[in-house]
């Protein structure tokens, strides 16, 4: 910062004792403040927020979800923000892709007003599939029915995990 202040000062200040030292001593502190301001800006932006996600959830009227990781919470916040724009199948596909972190494909049934979205989540089971389905249905126009199918390959080893789905705990086995 001291390099940017010197050209702005009048020429007479160049001969004053201590001005150069003062500007040099301020340089490190202003650089620290610049870095802190950039980090606070990143926390306020929905696409990069970490601890700032709670502010976004509150402002958008979303229920805070501390049980979800930051990526899932950020996806829900971005989904709520995207509500303010027009909705297309590509936009719904991108929404689901952000929430699952995997590949998504879609097909349309115009005569039935239905959009089928298929997502793959390799190596993991989603913790909040009903919440994801609600987010997709909130984004879709009222006359469009969205069907969401999520598949995942849990690998070759047999695994068992417990998943909360619709208020019931399910035991999921993979072989």
Give pLDDT tens digits for 92-140.
888 888 877 778 888 898 888 888 888 877 666 666 777 788 888 887 8
Provide the pLDDT for residue 11.
78
| CA–CA separation, 76 and 143 (whole Å) | 22
Quote the pTM value.
0.43
Longest dimension (CA), the chain: 82
How far CA 6 is from CA of 12, 25, 35, in Å, comes to 11, 13, 21
The span from the CA of 19 to the CA of 128, in Å, is 60
- What residue ranges define each of the domains in the chain, with the CATH number in brackets? 2-44 (no CATH), 46-85 (no CATH), 86-174 (3.30.300)
CB 106 within 8 A of CB 92: yes
């Amino acid at each position: 910062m001291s390099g940017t202040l010197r050209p702005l000062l009048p020429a007479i200040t160049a001969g004053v004792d201590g001005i150069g030292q003062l500007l040099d001593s301020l340089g490190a502190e202003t650089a620290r403040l610049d870095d802190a301001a950039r980090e606070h800006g990143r926390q306020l932006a929905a696409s990069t927020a970490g601890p700032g996600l709670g502010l976004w959830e509150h402002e958008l009227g979303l229920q805070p979800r501390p049980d979800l990781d930051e990526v899932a919470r950020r996806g829900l916040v971005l989904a709520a923000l995207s509500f303010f724009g027009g909705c297309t199948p590509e936009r719904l596909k991108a929404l689901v892709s952000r929430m699952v972190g995997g590949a998504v494909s879609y097909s349309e049934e115009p005569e039935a007003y239905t959009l089928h979205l298929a997502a793959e989540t390799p190596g993991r089971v989603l913790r909040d599939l009903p919440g994801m389905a609600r987010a997709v249905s909130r984004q879709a126009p009222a006359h469009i029915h969205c069907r969401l199918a999520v598949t995942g390959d849990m690998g070759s080893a047999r695994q068992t995990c417990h998943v909360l789905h619709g208020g019931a705990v399910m035991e999921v086995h993979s072989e």
